[in-house]
Amino acid sequence: MPQLKEIEHTADRAFLVRGKDLNELFTQAAQALLQFEGRKPYGKGSLSREAEVEVEGFDRETLLVNWLNEILYLQEAREETYTGAEILEISDQHLKARLKGQPGDRRMRLIKAVTFHGLRIKETTKGIEATVIVDV
């Protein structure tokens, strides 16, 4: 099944992500975010960067928003652009993850923040899904 689908939204952007479990859902959500931002191409010999992050949240939805906002924060504060995300450990209130990317802020599109609007991680017959709306 497709793991990422854009949903129509008048002013901002919304995407539906799916996964067989929390790990896959959170990985897909991070990939969706990075895909939305896009990035300018790198020249040859660009150095790679890695960041290990730990995020906490009041519940699964808060953890998801905090995780995605952590990526936005790190890119802006460290001036790095991430291309991949791997969840190393995850529970309903805590996750540990590794981000991979490149130095320099090379994002094409600004996402100001990830919102809680209408957010609910729902169980489906094939796993879990969530619709995430971001402020652009």
Partner 1 sequence: MDREIKSSDLVRVAPEVWEVPSSFRSDMRVAARLYADEVLLEAALTDRSIEQLINTSTLPGIVSYAIAMPDIHQGYGFPIGGVIATLLPEGVISPGGVGYDINCGVRVLASEASVDEVQPFLDELSRALYRNCPSGVGVRGEIKLNDTELDRILESGSGWALEQGYARPEDLSRTEQAGTILGGNPTLVSRRARDRGRGQIGTLGAGNHFIEVDRVSHVYGEKAGKLLGLFVGQIAVQIHCGSRGLGHQVCEEYVSRFQKTVHDYGIQLPDRELVCAPFNSPEGQEYFSAMNCAANFAFANRQVLAHRIRQSFEQVLGNKVPNRDLHQIYDVAHNMAKVEDHCIDGTSLRVCVHRKGATRAFGPGSPGLSAEFSEIGQPVLIPGSMGTESYILLGTAGSMEKTFGSTCHGAGRVMSRARAKKSVGGEQLREELRSRGIVVRAGSMSGLAEETPAAYKDVARVVDVVESAGIGRKLARLEPIAVIKG
Q: Using CB under 8 A, list all residues that contact partner 1.
A: 6, 8-13, 37, 57-59, 61-62, 65-66, 69, 72-73, 75-77, 79, 105, 107-110, 112-119, 133, 135-136
Q: Rounded distance, CA 99 to CA 52, Å?
A: 6
- Least Å distance, CB 22 to partner 1, is 18
Nearer residue to partner 1 within complex by CB, 31 or 115: 115
DSSP string spanning 29-40?
Answer: HHHHHHHHH-BP
Nearest to 17 by CA among 9, 30, 63, 102: 30
From residue 134, how far is each of 3, 47, 50, 54, 127 by CA, in Å?
Answer: 18, 29, 24, 21, 23
- Least Å distance, CB 64 to partner 1, is 11
- Least Å distance, CB 61 to partner 1, is 7
Nearer residue to partner 1 within complex by CB, 20 or 34: 34
